[in-house]
Structure 1
């Protein structure tokens, strides 16, 4: 009987076409608003590297002054000093360690016909590429030995490489950066994790957009005295000169550990606590604040990557869907009320209330299916509008298969829910009264 009732539901769409179109459109708009905002939120809050996110850890040491500090306050700064970063880099804790600093400068290509280009990127350590599993189009990362020697080597993004060399392999070529000669040893393939969990602080383009154009060894950036591209927090007087800046308590670096197993996190925490105690003996870290470790998801939460207004938008969109359902209930009541005589005849011929209920409920599900089909393109349009309003969301991918299924499920479920009252009312028709009125 289901197939028969389903076909009846399809045919019923042609009855009162204006009323049917209004119901379908009402459901489609409500579902599209809900699904588009839910999709954006799901992308913003998703785990960008789920198979190892619990093993990628960000350490946080509070080196702020004691004045004005109250125990239990959240750390005012989420970056690290040069001294701490170098000590942790040399600690041999975990299986990989990465220091990150933003850089921005001008590139002078070898070709005389190429103009000087502004470029932003990272000064980092060789473990960066293996830790974050970056794909390579050409070449490979620089080595740990080149890290220690502060060699003039560089890795380009695919986009930056194609701007300068087209589709050709640029390995071995040289360019000038910050007035120094660099040799190209690698070119990354397209790699745009969303969110940009590797560089959430000071990342050019925001947390969901943009990419790094170049990568150079951090030790090389220090040797060549590259300027810092990003926020720098200095709470005390700094000795003049670049070395004075390195020796200061200014925070400007980001740091990552990768552990072999998730259970190694406690061992790393114990090391971090012991390290902080040793630094306090040297007169540093006066606040004696807890030393923290954040995995990828905790780090994004600490930095409030998903803002409260994004969550509020989802709740508001579902509130709008509820309003659409109320309107759909009224429209279904109007549609089913004109079919009272049909229900009376069916009841007189022996149809049970259960059969009538089943028939009308399947008809409402057909309306929901039609609403889902219309809601799908409206959902894509909604996501496009949201992305156009925010440059940071312009790279948010489209709807995946799970969200596609949710669109139809939500539409059908919403229509069935809206149809419960009208369907129940239709089943209460008294056959004798309807037959006398004919």
Structure 2
């Protein structure tokens, strides 16, 4: 009977076409508004690296002074000093380790027809590429020896490589940066996770891909300009050397461990902070913490309250559309009272009438879903025109694609419950006498 009722539902779309079109459009607009905003929220809050997000860990220390300190208050700063970053790199803890140092530097192309470019990149260790699943289009990451001696080597981002060298392989080419010739050893393929979870503090959360990657030791040796935030709880002397020796926090650190090693790493960090306190550091005696990727994004409130409020407002608009759809369905089903009376007189039960009209309502919801999907793509396209960062979020995956139809049909069925119930209450005798 479902197939028969479905055919009746498709045919009913051609009855009173203006009323049907109005219902489908009302439902589609509500679905498009809610799905487009929900898609943005979904892309912002989704797990950016689901295969290992629980194994990538950020340590947090509180190395601030005792002055103006209130015990139990979260320091909020998720970066660390050069002293701690260096110690953690040498610790051998975890399967892999990396520092993330945001760098800004002018880059001089080998081509004479191109001027010097203002570029931004990262000072990292070679483990960075394996830890965050960075794909390499050409070449490879630098060696451990390059890390240790701070070699003048770099991995270019794909966009920058194509800008400088077109489609040719640039491995072995030299580019001048920070007053030194850097040798290109690799080219990263398209990789720009949104949000940029590996460098959220002091960085552009939904910004463009990095132009280059160089060894962390190289960035330190060249005293590279910092592209990011820095927090100093006490005064320090001017100069890069004093920055390295200070308690200023400006570097991000990541560990990669196995799932079972998190508690072991936490114990080691507790021991490390204990040793540093004996040296006169970590005077606040605050507990250190570990955050995996999703915990860190939650702590830093990557998805703000304004984004969540937008979704609630969009679903409020969908509820308003449903109220209008209920009124239109009541009008449509009321006009078929005579038909319902005849069917009831011929032996159809109220349950069968309810099923028939509910299936017809689902057909309306399906039509609204198709139109809503088209409108959703249009809305996301308009949002994407606001900038490259928004464009990366304004895209619909298969999960949201399926949800569009589910939401549309569910909304139509919800709106159709009252009109369908009213249709079941038609008294056959009264309708037959009125004919």
For residue 19 of structure 1, what is the aligned residue in structure 2? 19
For residue 246 of structure 1, what is the aligned residue in structure 2? 244
TM-score (norm: length of structure 1): 0.97
Distance (whole Å) between structure 2 residues aligned to residue 148 and residue 419 of structure 1:
69
Paired residues of 2:208 and 2:388 also in contact (CA < 8 A): no
* Structure 1 position 241, deviation (Å): 2.5
* Structure 1 position 390, deviation (Å): 6.2
For residue 179 of structure 2, what is the aligned residue in structure 1? 179
Paired residues of 1:209 and 1:394 also in contact (CA < 8 A): no
Which secondary structure does the structure 2 equivalent of 1:243 belong to? helix
Which secondary structure does the structure 1 equivalent of 2:225 belong to? coil
Distance 1:240-1:209 versus aligned 2 partners, 3 A rule: closer
Question: Is 2:224 the counterpart of 1:218?
Answer: no
Question: Is 2:367 the counterpart of 1:370?
Answer: yes
Paired residues of 1:34 and 1:317 also in contact (CA < 8 A): yes
Correspondent of 1:404 among 384, 395, 401: 401
Paired residues of 2:383 and 2:394 also in contact (CA < 8 A): no
For residue 137 of structure 1, what is the aligned residue in structure 2? 137
Paired residues of 1:63 and 1:285 also in contact (CA < 8 A): yes
* Structure 1 position 391, deviation (Å): 5.2
Q: How does 1:158-197 map to 2 (within 5 A)?
A: 158-197=158-197
* Structure 1 position 387, deviation (Å): 3.6
**CA deviation profile, 1:80-122 (whole Å, cap 9, x unmatched):** 1000000000000001110011111111122222211111001
**CA deviation profile, 1:362-396 (whole Å, cap 9, x unmatched):** 11111111100100011112223334456532212
TM-score (norm: length of structure 2): 0.97
Distance 1:302-1:413 versus aligned 2 partners, 3 A rule: same
Distance 1:224-1:264 versus aligned 2 partners, 3 A rule: same
Question: Is 2:273 the counterpart of 1:281?
Answer: no
- Worse overlay, 419-428 or 194-203: 194-203
Paired residues of 1:104 and 1:120 also in contact (CA < 8 A): yes
For residue 416 of structure 1, what is the aligned residue in structure 2? 413
* Structure 1 position 397, deviation (Å): 5.4
Paired residues of 1:98 and 1:128 also in contact (CA < 8 A): yes
For residue 435 of structure 1, what is the aligned residue in structure 2? 432
Structure 2 residues not aligned, in runs of 5+: none
Distance 1:387-1:307 versus aligned 2 partners, 3 A rule: farther
- Worse overlay, 70-79 or 383-392: 383-392
Paired residues of 1:31 and 1:410 also in contact (CA < 8 A): yes
Paired residues of 2:384 and 2:394 also in contact (CA < 8 A): no
Which secondary structure does the structure 1 equivalent of 2:147 belong to? helix
Paired residues of 1:126 and 1:141 also in contact (CA < 8 A): yes
Distance (whole Å) between structure 2 residues aligned to residue 236 and residue 402 of structure 1:
49
Structure 1 residues not aligned, in runs of 5+: none
For residue 313 of structure 1, what is the aligned residue in structure 2? 310
Distance (whole Å) between structure 1 residues aligned to residue 230 and residue 395 of structure 2:
36
**CA deviation profile, 1:222-241 (whole Å, cap 9, x unmatched):** 11111211111112221233
| RMSD of aligned alpha carbons | 1.3
For residue 32 of structure 2, what is the aligned residue in structure 1? 32
Number of aligned residue pairs: give it.
435
**CA deviation profile, 1:31-69 (whole Å, cap 9, x unmatched):** 111111111111111111111111100001011111111
**CA deviation profile, 1:256-304 (whole Å, cap 9, x unmatched):** 0011x21200111111111111111111111111101010001111111
